[in-house]
Amino acid sequence: MARTFAAVVATTIAVILAAAGCGGGDEAEQICIPQEKECDGSDVVKCNADGSDWSFYKACPDGCKDGQCKSNGTCAPACGGKECGDDGCGGTCGLCGAGTTCQAGTCKAGACTPNCAGKTCGSDGCSGTCGTCYSSGGAADPSLCQANGTCCVQSCAGKQCGPDGCGGVCGTCPAKSTCTAQGQCQQSCVPSCSGKQCGSDGCGGDCGVCSDGICLNGKCGCEDSTDCSDESICYGSPGKCTMAFGRSYSFTLADATILEGDPNDGFSAWDVGGGMPDVFVECTAEGTLVFSSTVKNDTLSPMWWESFNMVVAKGQYFECTAYDNDVSDADWIGAFEFKQGIPASLLKDGYYGFDAGDPSYGFQTASFVITPN
Ligand SMILES: [Ca+2]
Ligand SMILES: [Ca+2]
Ligand SMILES: [Ca+2]
């Protein structure tokens, strides 16, 4: 107000000087651009219409910068197009000079009669306000003042999101969630780990991590050795991947097929007088006998289903030989061997089928079932 008072005094003096004929009759010196605004401390000052002086325009509760009030950060003053009157945040868009009144946001000559009949917010038609609207959170919010001059009451009690009933929202939901009709944020995807030890929760997460990294149908562990890495087998129940070598296996000799004649003796009958062979099998590991089957008499397709246990080391030389049992000795029928050791693939398969692949070889085929102990 000091500025306004000073301006009035200066104008009065100029008028007096002009009337006295002592001022040379010149118009007042122009010191600013008419209507220009600048800051004076925390006030906005405005250049007079003739550019002769600054006058107080507006007080800024949160300070002035570049000729405009700073926003207080919680309420955005709504002064678009207004030079005076209520800014909706408890402040003013400006004050009108002497002899003028604020009418619908514009300073006009003459008196103005405030009218707040039926109104609780918005402009009183002059320089004042009929009231300020507040959000459900307690912050002044001019956007809640409706066209009829009453405050819209937000209905956000107990709501995290959704319409506030006043054209706005009660809040926004974080990513991957949506707002329910009841105004609650709900994850778009509902994780499901019921009955699962591991694997996907259906929403991009894990229900758990298995120690051996094997998760099948939500359970930790393997179903068979194909689930495990190259040199490991599936063992136990629930299955767990474990090293294939250095452990005991049960080898079961199931059956074999023998050539009808002895290829080592011109394909003559195996027994003197034309009898069929009397077959038994012996197996060695690193030259040590680990298995000797019973004798199956007079057959080309003996069946044993006889077992032995053996710890299988990696690279361990292994050989099985079939013989025809005779009265005084035994005829060598044939053999198979693993010079580089039994491969992990057989231990994983749990089965070995020997096939000579040579129609003239005495020991044609044999089959073993291999089970970890
Ligand atoms: Ca013989
Ligand atoms: Ca015989
Ligand atoms: Ca014999």
Evaluate whether residue 256 is within a structural domain.
yes
Over residues 226-234, the mean pLDDT reads: 88
User: What is the whole-number distance in angstroms between the Cα of residue 205 and the centre of ligand 1?
Assistant: 69
Q: What residues flank ion ligand 3 with Cβ within 5 A?
A: 271, 278, 324, 326
Residue 166 within a domain: no
Lowest mean pLDDT across 47-56, 71-80, 172-181, 261-270: 71-80
The pLDDT assigned to 340 comes to 96
Distance from the CA of 331 to the center of ligand 3, in angstroms? 7
Average pLDDT over residues 156-170: 87
Of 258, 308, 318, the closest CA to residue 288 belongs to 318
pLDDT classification of 254: cutoffs 50, 70, 90: very high
Distance 186 CA to ligand 3 centre (A): 82
Structural domain ending residue among the three candidates 15, 46, 70? 70
| 187 is a domain residue | no
Which candidate, 249, 256, 255, 257, places its Cα nearest to that of 349? Answer: 249
Asked whether residue 7 carries a pLDDT value surpassing 80, the answer given is no
Task: Tell how far the Cα of 339 is from the centroid of ligand 3, in angstroms.
Answer: 29
Residue 296 lies in a domain: yes
Least confident of 25-39, 251-265, 275-289: 25-39
**Mean pLDDT of the region 31-37:** 79
344 and 269 within one domain: yes
Q: How far is the CA of 330 from the centre of ligand 1 (A)?
A: 6
What DSSP assignment string belongs to 187-234? ESS----TT-SSSB-SSS-BS---TTS-EETTEESBSSGGGS-TTEEE
22 neighbors 14 (Cβ within 8 angstroms): no
CA of 18 to the centre of ligand 2 (A): 153
Query: pLDDT band at 10, cuts 50/70/90?
Result: very low
Residue 195 belongs to some domain of the structure: no
In the chain, which residue ranges form alpha helices assigned H by DSSP? 2-20, 344-349
The alpha carbon of 255 and the centre of ligand 3 are apart by a number of angstroms equal to 18
Residues 42 and 124 in one domain: no
Q: Which ligand is nearest to the CA of 275?
A: 2
**Quick one: average pLDDT of 164-174?**
86
- The verdict on 294 and 350 lying in the same domain is yes
Q: Stretch 144-160: mean pLDDT, rounded?
A: 88
pLDDT digits (tens, 9 = 90+) for 332-345: 999 999 999 999 99
Q: What is the mean pLDDT of the segment spanning 245-249? A: 95
pLDDT, position 213: 72
Distance 297 CA to ligand 3 centre (A): 8
Q: Quick one: pLDDT at residue 299?
A: 97
Number of other residues whose CB lies within 10 A of the CB of residue 272: 9
For residue 359, say if its preceding peptide bond is cis, omega within 30 degrees of 0. no
Distance 297 CA to ligand 2 centre (A): 6
Would you state the structure tokens that stand for residue 260, as one six-digit string? 């009808």
Q: Are 158 and 183 in contact (CB under 8 A)?
A: yes
- Ligand 2 is a single-atom ion; what residues have CB below 5 A from it? 271, 275, 278, 298
In a domain, 109, yes or no: yes
**Which ligand is nearest to the Cα of residue 325, counting in written order?**
3
- Asked which of 243, 260, 285 is the last residue of a domain, the reply is 243
Is 180 inside a domain boundary?
no
What are the tokens at 170?
A: 């009660």
pLDDT at 1: 40
- What sign has the CA pseudo-torsion 290, 296, 298, 300? negative
Q: How many domains does the chain have?
A: 4
Helix and strand counts by DSSP (H, E) for the chain: 2, 21
pLDDT recorded at residue 24: 41
Residue 249: the pLDDT is 96
Q: How many residues are there in the chain?
A: 373
Q: How far is the CA of 35 from the centre of ligand 1 (A)?
A: 128
pLDDT tens for each residue of 283-301:
999 999 999 999 999 999 9
Question: Model-level pTM greater than 0.75?
Answer: no
Mark whether 231 and 257 lie in a shared domain: no
Residues 4 and 114 in one domain: no
Residues 88-99: pLDDT tens digits?
777 788 888 777
Distance in Å, CA 337 to ligand 2 centroid:
26
How much is the pLDDT for 98?
77
Distance 271 CA to ligand 1 centre (A): 4
pLDDT the model gives residue 11: 45
Based on the fold, state whether residues 251 and 226 are members of the same structural domain: no
pLDDT at residue 220 greater than cutoff 90? no
Query: What range does the domain containing 81 cover?
Result: 73-134
Q: Please, which pLDDT band fits residue 268 given cuts at 50, 70 and 90?
A: very high
**Ligand 2 center from residue 191 Cα (angstroms):** 70
Please indicate, yes or no, if residue 353 is contained in any of the structural domains: yes
